[in-house]
Structure 1
Amino acid sequence: MFWSQSKDNIWIVGHRGVRALLPENTLISFQKAIDLGLNGIETDIHMTTDGQLVLHHDDTLERTTDGSGKIENYSYAELRQLDAGIKFSPEYAGQRIPRLEELLERIADPSFFLNVEMKDYRPEALDRTIKTLEKYGFHDRYVIACFHGDVTTLAHEKYGVKTQGFPLQMVKEAREDTESHYYSVGIGMEMLTGELVESYYRKGIDPWCWCPDTREEVSAAIASGITLMTVNDPGPALEMLRKEN
């Protein structure tokens, strides 16, 4: 069974690749996560003016590229002119904002997992994302994550896919039944407690956390009872979980 994560088999997922080590949401960052043997990758989806699905976290371009303005106002060809590595370090100049397909083409391991967070809330973006994942054979090895309750609800109700939501106080358009559409919930380290984790187990929701990047944080995450951790720096998690196993 693919969904084998548990308290005794905690998955390690790279946040935007391995963003503490390499420029986030770039192909070299994703490849490093694959090469390190992580269980999966978390990434973020925006849709361009010409309907392409690109991997980028922020709504705007300034923090991670040499561009400016909102990503939704760019075509794919325009985005490809921007440098997505130089802000991290001049050593990585020349990295580009990739399309979702470019990531999927790199993943050969049939057990590799993707956590795909929708930053674009439009139904068309969700539809194209799910169809692309299915086209590349991912089927039962991805979740759709979002901070907008309508998106996780639509993903679950219309497409029948697994979703990852967040504690309701963090969710836009949270409704009474929003959590009923969650397969899993992402809990930030600042909120993570054993009591909160247990409360989600009681609801039938798998508790995951982000982002334990020190030995102390990884230890706290393990002790809380989570089944998956999304990390910026995979070193401490790999060291401690391999030691446990």
Structure 2
Amino acid sequence: MGKIIDRLLDKERILVAGHRGVGAFYPENTLLSIQKALEMNVDMIEFDMNLTKDKVVVIMHDRTVDRTTNGKGYIHDMTLKQIKELDAGGKFGKAFEGLKVPTLREFCELVQPYENILLNAEIKEKTYETVDLAMEVLKEYGLMHRCVFTCFDAFIAAYMYDSYGVRVQGFPKEKMENFVDGETGTYSKLFAVGIDMKIITPERVKEFENLGILPWSYCPDTDELVYESIRCGARLMTCNNPLPALKILKEKGWHSQMLKGNR
């Protein structure tokens, strides 16, 4: 493994990922939200990928544009030009009006200079084509060695592992689609598993550790939930609001990021 990704295996540190950038304070998955997460010195940026009608990978969580923009419809039914005409900030707050949905290329250009930042790239348009096109762009920008890839669909997770040999984050069996049991099943292909704070327990964490899978949590966004995540043994916290986790881990000397920045 490369030196950067090895930080995920450091048992002396707990890492913090910004969920969709800093989704608590800025319009999720926009370049502004990503930039603010970088400025907070998180260890990892989690972001979501969908595919337009004209086969461009864009950064957006939902398969439709309805919730986060002033438009309506499925991303896969819209061209990039149509997506770029939407306002991706105004629904979050008037101060953010005019923000656009970024492409994966635009995202890569932003994060590329931050050489110590890890990436958690989640596939939301659950097709092999989305995976292939996303991998192509991330390879072009030289970012593959920083990436963990995520999907709730076990078939897509297996495809990424089998076809590209990448590190894959999945989820507990009951949270995944198309889960395959057995020694060569879904769990055998996972590098990490994301455990919802609603269901995390020390026993559940231990279960995945015994399988050789890194136990991560989402979304511990308050002091109370951060302490609970630590108590249960999660090794990485994906947070909409990273500030409580960063503060508590810094106080305990458990956070891995350099204090002078992550470039």
TM-score tier by shorter-chain length is: over 0.9
- CA positional deviation for 1:62: 1.5
Partner of 1:50: 54
Partners in 1 of 2:135 and 2:15 — Cα distance? 23
User: Which one of 89, 103, 110 corresponds to residue 107 of structure 2?
Assistant: 103
- For 2:134 and 2:55, how far apart are their aligned partners in 1? 11
1:32 aligns with 2:36: yes
Where do residues 55-94 of structure 1 align in structure 2 (5 Å cutoff)? 55-94=59-98
Distance 1:201 1:131 in 2: 32
Task: Give how far 1:103 is off.
Answer: 1.1
Equivalent residue runs for 1:229-240 within 5 Å: 229-240=237-248
Q: Secondary structure at the match of 1:174?
A: coil
Rounded to whole Å, the distance in 2 between the matches of 1:143 and 1:18 is 19
Secondary structure at 1:207 match in 2: strand
Is the counterpart of residue 225 in structure 1 residue 230 in structure 2?
no
Distance in 1 of aligned mates of 2:237 and 2:139: 24
CA contact (8 A) 1:7 1:225 kept: no
**Structure 1 residue 140, shift from structure 2 partner:** 1.8
Could you tell me which residue of structure 1 aligns to residue 201 of structure 2?
A: 193
Query: Percentage identity across aligned positions?
Result: 38
Alpha-carbon distance between aligned partners in 2 of 1:224 and 1:134, rounded to the nearest angstrom: 35
Q: Please tell me the root mean square deviation across aligned C-alpha atoms, in Å.
A: 0.9
Partners of 2:193 and 2:13 in 1: how far apart? 17
Report SS of the residue matched to 2:119: strand
- Separation (CA, whole Å) in 2 of partners of 1:139 and 1:170: 26
Q: How much does 1:61 deviate?
A: 1.4
Match of 1:22 among 20, 23, 26: 26
In structure 2, which of residues 241, 245, 251 is the aligned counterpart of residue 243 of structure 1? Answer: 251
Mapped partners of 2:136, 2:148: distance in 1: 13
Paired with 1:174 and 1:111, the residues of 2 have a C-alpha distance of 33
Hey, what's the Cα distance between the residues in 2 that align with 1:236 and 1:187? 19
Report the Cα distance in structure 2 between the residues aligned to 1:155 and 1:111, rounded to whole angstroms: 23
User: What's the CA shift for 1:119?
Assistant: 0.5
**Structure-1 separation of matches of 2:53 and 2:243:** 38
CA–CA distance in structure 1, aligned partners of residues 13 and 146 of structure 2: 16
1:183 and 2:188 matched: no
5+ residue gaps, structure 1, are none
Runs of 4+ in 1 over 4 A off after TM superposition: none
Partner amino acid for 1:191? I
TM-score (norm 1): 0.98
Q: Structure 2 unaligned runs (5+)?
A: 254-263
Q: d(CA) in 2 for partners of 1:133 and 1:139? A: 6
- Structure-to-structure mapping, 1:114-133, within 5 angstroms: 114-133=119-138
Q: Does 1:141 align with 2:140?
A: no
Q: CA deviation at 1:23?
A: 0.4
- 2: distance between equivalents of 1:116 and 1:144? 5
Q: Deviations over 1:189-243 (max 9, x none)?
A: 0011110001100000001110000000000111111111100001101110110
Amino acid at match of 1:156: Y
TM-fit CA distance, 1:110: 1.6
